[in-house]
Structure 1
Amino acid sequence: MRKYRFPLFMLPALVLASCQSTDEEWFLEDFGWSDSEETTEAMETAAPDPTPTAPDLDEVTALTPAQDPINQAGLVNQRAELELHQAKTSLLSEQFVVLADNAFQRGDYKGAAMLYADALDLDPDSRASRDGLRRCEQQLAGNAWDVDSAEDRITQEQMRRANRRIHVSALVRDGDSAMAAGDFDTAVSAYQTAEMALRTSPSLAAGSLDYNLVSSKLTGASQARSDYIAARRDAEKAAAELEAQATRDARNNYLSNRVRSLFQDANRYFTRGKYTDAVRVLDALLELDPVNKEALDLRLVANAAWHATRQRDTDTSFRQQWKATFDELRTMAIPPKNIIEHDIDYWRETVLKRDSLDKMVSAAEVDPGEAAIAELLASTRIEARFENTIEEIADNLAAYTRVNFVVSRAVREDMDEDVKTINLSFSRPMPVAQILSIIEDMTQGQLRFVIRNGVVNVLTAEEAVGGNILNKYEVRDIVRPIQDFVGIDVNLAPSGGIELIEEELPEREAKVLSEDDLLAAIQENIEPDSWDDTATVTIENGTLIVNAPPATQDRIKSLLGDLRLSSNIMVEIKVSFLKVEDSFLQDIGVDFRGLGNDSTSGIAGKGDDFVFDDFGTDPGSPGAPGTLGTGNDSGMYFREASDNVNIIARTENLYDSGLGNEDGLVGSGGLSLQYTFLDDTQLNMVLRAVEKSVRREVLTEATLTVSNTQRATLTVANQVSYVGDFDVEIAQAAAIADPIVRIARDGVYLDVRPVVSADRRFTYIDVRPTVATLVRPIPSFQTSLGTGSPVTMQLPELKLQKIATRVMIPDGGTLLLGGMKIINQQNLESGIPLLNRIPILSFFFSRKGEYESYQKLIILLSARIIVPEEFEPSAEPGSAR
């Protein structure tokens, strides 16, 4: 820092000058100008302040409006406040000086110095506080003043003056820039502040920083602002006059243009054959001009044309209906392709135009203005950063949305400030409607925002109650229970057995919610505090009757729609039993038997009738072969001429078990060849050869469509009656058999219960499919009752294929429930020892059979979720729905 040396005799004067505060210091400090070190350094390093060029007075007058009287009144108020502030600080400074004098007299120099310093801070012009502070410093340090400190004080004072002058110059430059940009309000404010600073501190004026020049700039800026306001007012007035004149001209030309337009519309409709529309347009024209002769004549012509067209359309419609009737009869036999089939024409012409029951019984009409306000609140997105009262928030939201917000008197005067003060901070933009809902939740319903009479009303909970409307909702599809159907367990009841008891399911209370549960859900979740006062809700005969405000009605309608999402779902379930079989059978053998006539019918056999009589009296039968086989006839006979040698032989190759399977292939049919040779040696040969193969696939599929969570059954079966038992009635030594007739069922049975998952992508299914096959003919047997003739009873045989399980299956997918594999392999051989091993000769003394069967049973489950809305036909192009 540069130091200046002064003679010693000037030290007291310099000290007094350094302790004096300039008359403009209080003003500049009150406006926020401080003597910080940063400001001092900036002043020392800054370039010399260029002298601002004052604009021409005429140019300023042309650009700036006149001085605003409101701003002049503001300056007077500021000056009065400054004078009052100075008087208060001077009085308080004097009180601190009195307290400091008392402390100095008591010898408390340190305390007195602090009090003098406080007084000097309040009033820098107080000479008493400065003298007292100097005395305290002398008493405490013994040397309170030196030349260096005085020089430093003078230098600081010069820097403060230069800093204040820079601030005033900056204000003038800001005003000049604002004038050049056309911001007259900013220019007037800057010039007013600079003028007041120069008026209160004339010592700041130097060079181009002149009070008169700044005052002339202020006058020019005020005049330019006034001219701008006047010019804008004149332009708005001229525009309003032009608009009014245009409205009058349009009103004058409306009638003639309207009549001309209606004539054109009537002509266009008549040309296109739309005579009804033409008559309607001409009627509207006659309402404007009842004596228009051309309109009257045209209406008579259009009316006559309409009658002729109506007669022609009636004839055409009769012919079309006649043809459509027979087309319908021809197409009724065609099976449907989809799960749900729609009559497209009927759907588009009738169903789509049908209003829902909720809409038809609604007692309230939606105000278009309120709907537009609600749409605007839902579409306007802002960042919610509030820590204000509800009145300030309402003003801000009104500025953002351009919708009027009206705060009721009860909210302004009666509601607690803690409730009205909202602290809300979100970093992402959100709709204003959502912000209002969050505020209602934060105040626990004490504040309500209600759209009414074209504005958003900010009301208390008591004031918001009102404006109720009565509406009715059809809820039978929600509260009425669906019927469950229990399937039967297919089986045969044995004689004297216990009959099966049918399963009984608990009765459902409702399809989705019962009436009490639905009322509780509404009252507990939608405006819980409003149902005890004016709003009411009840259910009568499946109709929900609600008397509540429109906002509550909308929430109830939304809740009912959500409940119906799951109740309208159906599931198509398919269970397939696929049986695959690949079987082969071969049986080849030669027997020597059958000589002579051993038959009671047909052609007599050749050869002598010699039989085996040395092997017992029971040679066997085809049903129960004995030692010799199925009989005692011979197959080869040799006798000498002297009858001394008789040789009888017989061969019959039998299997211990039957070849094949009754469910597959059996060894019947094929080639049967009998050859007889008669000579000294008689020979009868029987050749049996058969070969069979089969490959087949048998598919049994049951399909059932059922509502979600409902238990349903499908039965496609035959019922066969049979005599299963007898009741014996004894009377007068006679026994009478009273038959007991039972029922055997076979066919396809399906018992299912689907439950669709919440995301409607999977289905949980309790499934119990059954395929029952009754073996025919039904076996029977006879038994004796002891007396009288025997009775015949039947013993049916039932083959069952069934499974019971619970599975989860994706929508439209197929799941393998289970299955069974059956493999049957038989390789049988019967022959005479030794002879059946000799090539070629073994063919005549053996029988070989081979049977192979491969079977596989697969049970498949398919499920498809049906949402009726997805099957609706698409609307015609250009239609409203």
Structure 2
Amino acid sequence: MHKRYTLIATFVCLCVIAGLGSRWGNAHEHTSADQFAQALELQNSGDLEEAKKMLLAVDPADLDKDQRVRLWQTIKAVDQRLVGQTDPAQLLDQAERQVEEGRLIEAARDYHRLASHKRASPAQRREAKARHAELSKSVLPVLRARLDEAEVDRKAGRYADAERKLETIATTGVDLGFFDNRRLKQQQAGIAGHHEQMSVMAVSAGQGDEGEVPRVEGDAEYAVEIDVAQPDRPRAADPEPAPRPEPVIEKAPDPVVEAPPAKDPTPRVEDMLGDDVELITEGGVVQVETRPAAPAAPAAKDEAPARQPVVEPVPVVEISEPTPVRIIEEPVVIESASAPAVPDLIERLKKLEAQRRLSEGRQAELRKEYAVARRKFEKAAELDPASEEVQAALERAKARGTTASGPRNVLDRQIQQEGLERQNVYAEFEQLMKQASDLLVKRSFNQAQEAVQQAKSVLDSRQSILPQEDYRNRRNRAEVLDAEIDARQRETEAKQMLEVEEAKAQAERELREKEEMDRDREVDRLLRRAIEFQMELRFDDALAAVNQALFRDPNNEAAMALKSMIEIHQQTDLTRRMREERAMQVTRHSTENLEATIPPTEIMVYPTDWVRITRDRWLASGEDSADTRINNEVKLKLRKPIPINFDANPLLSVIEFFRTTTGVNFYVNWNALRDDASVDEETPITLTLSDIPASDALDLVLRQISTDVEPVQYSIIKGIVQVSTKRELTTTTVIRSHNIRDLLIQVPDFRNAPEFDLNSALSNTSSGGSGGGSSSGGGSSGGGSSSGGGGGGSGGSINVFGDSDSDDEEEDLLTREELVENISELIRSNVGDPDEWLAAGGEVSSLTELNGTLIVKTTPDSHIEVEKLLAELRQQRALQISVEARFLLVDQNFLEEVGADVDIIVDTGSNFGPLVISQDSFGITGSPSTGLPGSFLAATGGDAAAAAGEAGDALEGLTTGSGRALDLSVSYLDDIAVNLLVRATQAHRRSISLTAPRLTLMNGQRAFVLVAQQITFISDVEPVSDGIGFDPTLSVVSSGAVLEVEATVSADRRYVTLTTEPRLARVNQPIRRIPQTGVFNIDEILGDDNQDGGADQGSVLLSTFIEAPEIEITEIKSTISVPDKGTLLMGGQRLVGEIEVEAGVPVLSKVPLLNRIFTNRSSVKDERTLLILIKPTIIIQSEQEDQNFPGLRENPEEYGLDSRFTY
């Protein structure tokens, strides 16, 4: 009785437990929606971590289609928000750790996220961008390779793999380059298009029993870990359902089943598939991809267990805990050449879905969810009613459902439980063995051995519940398969090793052949390129190409021959180019020499590129100028004339008027005006003017409101016209430098002009003779020019023009320090208030000189005054004077001579001599001379011709050998002899000679110009003691012109005051010689040593000469005032000589007609006029510049210069 009650109590407990389990399973199905709703509430409240955990725990299979879509969208949104809420510092540390661990792609992704993180600081973003740029170079090859892999996966239909890889590439933020970025976008667009196509197909297919689960992005192969009951680990009661584990993804090969072609496609294939199966179609290939489902009880899908008698389950109290078993589901890929779906394909898809439902049902059985398992088995039976395995599972589920409510004893339940466990062990064992066999066929030996070991482990772990015979048989099968795998592996490895060695040798041979072919192609390309360079005369490039070819093939004979040919050609071309360059340079020098022979007609010639020079110089000096560009623009605006009509207008409105009419910014310091000058905005101004510059009008306005104590002024500072009191304006000081080097140069006076007289010539003497010489310069081999240091005469460094007073000139010049002090004192005295300078005890302005630069610290207005003062000094020094002196000599000579000479000799024939009648008056009229140089008759008279110089030479060309133009001689010889001689000469000559020395000098300077010829002559001789000969003394005389001038420009620059001394000297040629005679006693010279017997050797008379030059000097000294470019006759001389001579026989010379025979006439008239003219020309640089470049100073914009350059 007690035993019966015990059994009843046990049965009731089991029923209660079974009922609770069934209720729990039903509750579990409804709890997923509640968990999803709770996760949404956690997301809205901001608890993202907990929300994500709960979202991952939700079973998508228990949700409808819309909820599943929203579930995955919510998970993605939570992930994005979690990334945004991540601490930037933590994200940075995480990226650095990933770099240290070598996970560069993950590090690049985190750096990219940090660079766009909202809460990241600018420094963190900069660091992230820098690190990301560094990593981009390292991961770029890997990402490009992964992009290629993704493309291969997509073409093979593995869209999940491709999408995951593309997502990894996109999240790194690395720039792949133009073409790879475009490839990435194309790949992503292709996958997006595939998803859209699948969505359309899913909508057209309709929904299944439990709705359609959205596709999970991931690999096409999934491995799901499930639990199998372990009998050796009992537990007291049913455990609470644990969260569903994440699916473990494993790679598995894609089996391909070729489908026979079908003419008519079967519509709506998706209706025959389950909710967790997705059909993917691309390029004629149909791929069925399964999604990971919730963990289910393990079942070998290919195992078909034999039918056994139904064993009534016996309720037990203790139930073992499940152990995980891994089941790999492989996608089925059907290739079709004509249609994506056929009846055979549909049947296979049905069986696949049935196997999946069967697996899920077994997983539900392990979780004690028998109702769910039964529904799964029923669905599998509908899809594959012919499967015995499905029917057995369904019958077992129905039996469990019918027996769960009836009473069972413990033994029956234990037997039933063990039977179920044995079936699970057999199913798992067979599945692993089949998996090992498949892997063996695929030559995956390691994985096959692992599967065999897992099968052995399954048998060993459940050996207690298995029959010994079954255990041994299955164990032996596993051992045999393991041995076969090992043997096949060794055989395959040996074969592969041999193949690898052969392949390696073949690859090496092919590599060597390829390298040789590549080398030959590269050498051939380089040689062709070198020939092209040679044809283009680019020899350096050609040699570089040949050297590259020789580097790749040092023994290439063609390359070596080509290199030699190129080098020869290069040297030949270089020689040709050098000759052309030499000819060009010679031509350029000849052109420059020809250009240098062109005499200029202008006093000052500007270069043709003077505008460019001006622009460059002004731009270079613009930075150091006190008037900056903006200040000059303001000054130009203030120079424009404006009308003024103020009638007690307030000062504020007056300032506003100036601001409006000039367009210049004004700033008025009203505080300083009120406090110091008692001036405010309402101070009245009365002023009426017309067309007056705005600057002048502003000065007049400020004078009205100024007081003697505190004047009001304005200053242009940084382009703003600032109006304030003088005291306040002086508080703004700036430091600027002013170059005064040109003002420190002193213009010396040159006072050592030479004198043209014989006294000066005789004072510069030197004895030397042949090879001798004095200490003043050495001999000149008997005479000649003595410039330089090797001639007799002055020679060496001695000034031939006598002593100079250069020492006195240097004493008169100021020292550099004195000049600097004078300029500084001039600035302090004339710029600003003299009391404000530091040297005078002030505190506003200071001045210091350094290396020719004045460093001035003062107000901007004072700087402008300093520049104006220095500019005026430079303007005064910029005056130059060009002086031209003209020695104009005009000679006119006239000669007329007519005469006859008749001689009659009559032989009387008696004792008397012949009767001679002679008329000879030529001697009386033949030699008249005026004594002026150039006279004709003076030139015919022997030495007189030398006095006339060149005039005698000209005369000889005009007259006959007798010095007459016509000589007529007639003789009649008989008893009466008559001789008639007629002479007639008429000559006229006019000559003009001009000597015009020119000199340019500074205003107020004294200078001279010398153009002369130095002539040496023997001024004295001295007998040589103890010898026979003379020692000559040489002197130097100069012939030429000297112009010595001291010029000063008048204040109005219209006249020039000249103190000038022009001199002209000419040495008459030939130089007159005076004979000199000397007697030399031979005994005294040789010495009397009585060897000659006391005989007297006698004396020697030697003759020589000294020279007495005659100099014609023209000199004038005067101080005059001449207008600019005017000509003044300083002086001159006029010489006139006229002689008329007539001689003849008295009475007969008065008889007409006969007087021609008995009369001789001679008429000479000479005139010489010497004019000394002076012409000064004032050279003002600004005027010269304006003449050459009109408008450059007034309108520089016409020459491309800025208006600020006006001066």
Q: TM-score, normalised by structure 1?
A: 0.51
Equivalent position of 2:933 in the other structure:
663
Equivalent position of 1:489 in the other structure:
755
Q: Deviations over 1:700-723 (max 9, x none)?
A: 333333322222222222222111
Equivalent position of 2:1201 in the other structure:
880
Equivalent position of 1:538 in the other structure:
848
Query: Is 1:782 aligned to 2:1075, yes or no?
Result: yes
Does structure 2 conserve the Cα–Cα contact (< 8 Å) formed by 1:477 and 1:567? no
Cα distance in 2, alignment partners of residues 337 and 863 from structure 1? 16
Does structure 2 conserve the Cα–Cα contact (< 8 Å) formed by 1:488 and 1:502? no
| SS of aligned partner of 2:864 | helix
Cα distance in 1, alignment partners of residues 709 and 1139 from structure 2? 85
Aligned partner of 1:745: which letter? S
Cα distance in 2, alignment partners of residues 699 and 483 from structure 1? 30
Aligned partner of 1:790: which letter? S
How many Å apart are 1:524 and its aligned residue?
0.4
Mapping of residues 709-728 of structure 1, within 5 Å: 709-726=1004-1021, 728=1022
Cα distance in 1, alignment partners of residues 1137 and 854 from structure 2? 67
1:376/1:773 CA distance change after superposition, 3 Å: closer
How many Å apart are 1:692 and its aligned residue?
0.7
Aligned partner of 1:518: which letter? I
Does structure 2 conserve the Cα–Cα contact (< 8 Å) formed by 1:637 and 1:682? yes
Cα distance in 1, alignment partners of residues 1132 and 828 from structure 2? 53
Does structure 1 conserve the Cα–Cα contact (< 8 Å) formed by 2:1045 and 2:1060? yes
How many Å apart are 1:526 and its aligned residue?
0.5
How many Å apart are 1:751 and its aligned residue?
1.7
Equivalent position of 2:291 in the other structure:
none
Equivalent position of 2:1056 in the other structure:
763
Equivalent position of 2:830 in the other structure:
525
Cα distance in 2, alignment partners of residues 641 and 454 from structure 1? 129
State the Cα RMSD in Å.
4.7
Aligned partner of 1:795: which letter? A
How many Å apart are 1:641 and its aligned residue?
4.2
Mapping of residues 66-77 of structure 1, within 5 Å: none
Equivalent position of 1:471 in the other structure:
736
Does structure 2 conserve the Cα–Cα contact (< 8 Å) formed by 1:370 and 1:452? no
Aligned partner of 1:361: which letter? D
Cα distance in 2, alignment partners of residues 771 and 742 from structure 1? 20
How many Å apart are 1:560 and its aligned residue?
1.5
Cα distance in 1, alignment partners of residues 855 and 815 from structure 2? 19
Cα distance in 2, alignment partners of residues 705 and 291 from structure 1? 77
Does structure 2 conserve the Cα–Cα contact (< 8 Å) formed by 1:357 and 1:474? no
Query: Is 1:823 aligned to 2:1087, yes or no?
Result: no
How many Å apart are 1:746 and its aligned residue?
1.8
Aligned partner of 1:355: which letter? W
1:445/1:695 CA distance change after superposition, 3 Å: farther
Cα distance in 1, alignment partners of residues 864 and 918 from structure 2? 100
| SS of aligned partner of 2:755 | coil
Q: Deviations over 1:7-65 (max 9, x none)?
A: xxxxxxxxxxxxxxxxxxxxxxxxxxxxxxxxxxxxxxxxxxxxxxxxxxxxxxxxxxx
Does structure 1 conserve the Cα–Cα contact (< 8 Å) formed by 2:891 and 2:992? yes
Does structure 1 conserve the Cα–Cα contact (< 8 Å) formed by 2:882 and 2:1177? yes
Equivalent position of 2:607 in the other structure:
343
1:834/1:408 CA distance change after superposition, 3 Å: same
Aligned partner of 1:337: which letter? T
1:846/1:785 CA distance change after superposition, 3 Å: farther
Does structure 1 conserve the Cα–Cα contact (< 8 Å) formed by 2:1074 and 2:1105? yes
Q: TM-score, normalised by structure 2?
A: 0.38
Cα distance in 2, alignment partners of residues 798 and 369 from structure 1? 67
Count the aligned residue pairs. Answer: 520
Aligned partner of 2:858: which letter? A
| SS of aligned partner of 1:740 | strand
Query: Is 1:557 aligned to 2:867, yes or no?
Result: yes
Mapping of residues 669-708 of structure 1, within 5 Å: 669-708=964-1003
How many Å apart are 1:865 and its aligned residue?
2.0
| SS of aligned partner of 1:523 | helix
Aligned partner of 1:520: which letter? E
Equivalent position of 1:183 in the other structure:
none
How many Å apart are 1:556 and its aligned residue?
1.0
Cα distance in 2, alignment partners of residues 850 and 511 from structure 1? 68
Query: Is 1:572 aligned to 2:882, yes or no?
Result: yes
How many Å apart are 1:521 and its aligned residue?
1.3
Q: Deviations over 1:578-599 (max 9, x none)?
A: 333333211122346xxxxxxx
Mapping of residues 842-853 of structure 1, within 5 Å: 842-853=1155-1166
Does structure 1 conserve the Cα–Cα contact (< 8 Å) formed by 2:647 and 2:687? yes
How many Å apart are 1:536 and its aligned residue?
1.9
| SS of aligned partner of 1:806 | strand
Query: Is 1:859 aligned to 2:1169, yes or no?
Result: no
Cα distance in 2, alignment partners of residues 492 and 441 from structure 1? 75
Q: Which moved more, 1:521-530 or 1:368-377?
A: 368-377
How many Å apart are 1:332 and its aligned residue?
3.8
Aligned partner of 1:670: which letter? A
Does structure 2 conserve the Cα–Cα contact (< 8 Å) formed by 1:468 and 1:550? yes
How many Å apart are 1:795 and its aligned residue?
1.8
Cα distance in 2, alignment partners of residues 535 and 494 from structure 1? 59
Mapping of residues 419-498 of structure 1, within 5 Å: 428=689, 431-435=696-700, 438=703, 443=708, 449-450=714-715, 463-486=728-751, 487-493=753-759
Does structure 1 conserve the Cα–Cα contact (< 8 Å) formed by 2:677 and 2:710? no
Q: Deviations over 1:321-343 (max 9, x none)?
A: 99988765654433223222233
Query: Is 1:743 aligned to 2:1029, yes or no?
Result: no
Does structure 2 conserve the Cα–Cα contact (< 8 Å) formed by 1:472 and 1:543? yes
| SS of aligned partner of 2:754 | coil
How many Å apart are 1:559 and its aligned residue?
1.2
Does structure 1 conserve the Cα–Cα contact (< 8 Å) formed by 2:713 and 2:726? yes
Aligned partner of 2:1064: which letter? V
1:467/1:381 CA distance change after superposition, 3 Å: farther
Aligned partner of 2:756: which letter? V
The runs of 5 or more residues in structure 1 that have no matched partner are 1-289, 294-310, 593-634
Does structure 1 conserve the Cα–Cα contact (< 8 Å) formed by 2:1018 and 2:1035? yes
| SS of aligned partner of 1:719 | strand
Q: Deviations over 1:578-632 (max 9, x none)?
A: 333333211122346xxxxxxxxxxxxxxxxxxxxxxxxxxxxxxxxxxxxxxxx
Cα distance in 2, alignment partners of residues 395 and 353 from structure 1? 43
Equivalent position of 1:514 in the other structure:
819
How many Å apart are 1:292 and its aligned residue?
15
Does structure 2 conserve the Cα–Cα contact (< 8 Å) formed by 1:405 and 1:455? yes
Does structure 2 conserve the Cα–Cα contact (< 8 Å) formed by 1:673 and 1:687? yes
Aligned partner of 2:994: which letter? L
1:570/1:434 CA distance change after superposition, 3 Å: same
How many Å apart are 1:648 and its aligned residue?
5.6
Cα distance in 2, alignment partners of residues 419 and 488 from structure 1? 74
Aligned partner of 1:655: which letter? I
Does structure 2 conserve the Cα–Cα contact (< 8 Å) formed by 1:665 and 1:692? no
Does structure 2 conserve the Cα–Cα contact (< 8 Å) formed by 1:660 and 1:666? no
Q: Deviations over 1:496-529 (max 9, x none)?
A: 7799654656346479993222211110010122
Higher helix share: 2
Mapping of residues 293-304 of structure 1, within 5 Å: none
Equivalent position of 1:169 in the other structure:
none
Query: Is 1:333 aligned to 2:597, yes or no?
Result: yes
| SS of aligned partner of 1:352 | helix
Q: Which moved more, 1:325-334 or 1:474-483?
A: 325-334
Q: Deviations over 1:440-463 (max 9, x none)?
A: 985366655455588765656554
Does structure 1 conserve the Cα–Cα contact (< 8 Å) formed by 2:1024 and 2:1031? no
Cα distance in 2, alignment partners of residues 339 and 398 from structure 1? 53
Cα distance in 1, alignment partners of residues 635 and 1007 from structure 2? 50
Q: Which moved more, 1:845-854 or 1:442-451?
A: 442-451
Equivalent position of 1:645 in the other structure:
913
How many Å apart are 1:736 and its aligned residue?
5.8
| SS of aligned partner of 2:1102 | coil
- For the pair shown, the structure with the greater C-alpha radius of gyration is 2
How many Å apart are 1:554 and its aligned residue?
0.9
1:372/1:716 CA distance change after superposition, 3 Å: closer
